[in-house]
Amino acid sequence: MVKQIIRDPLFLQQKSTPASKDDAQVIVDLMDTLKANSDRCVGMAANMIGVKKQIIVVSVGPFIIPMVNPVITSKSGRYETEESCLSLDGVRPCVRYKEIEVDYLDQDFKPQHGKYTDFIAQIIQHEIQHFSGELI
CB-CB contact of 47 with 88 (8 Å): no
Torsion of CA 125, 131, 133, 136, to 10 degrees: 10
Torsion of CA 19, 115, 62, 128, to 10 degrees: 40
CB-CB contact of 108 with 95 (8 Å): no
**Is 127 considered catalytic here?**
yes
CA–CA dist 68, 57 (Å, integer): 9
Q: 82, 99, 101, 127: which one is catalytic?
A: 127
Catalytic residues: 127
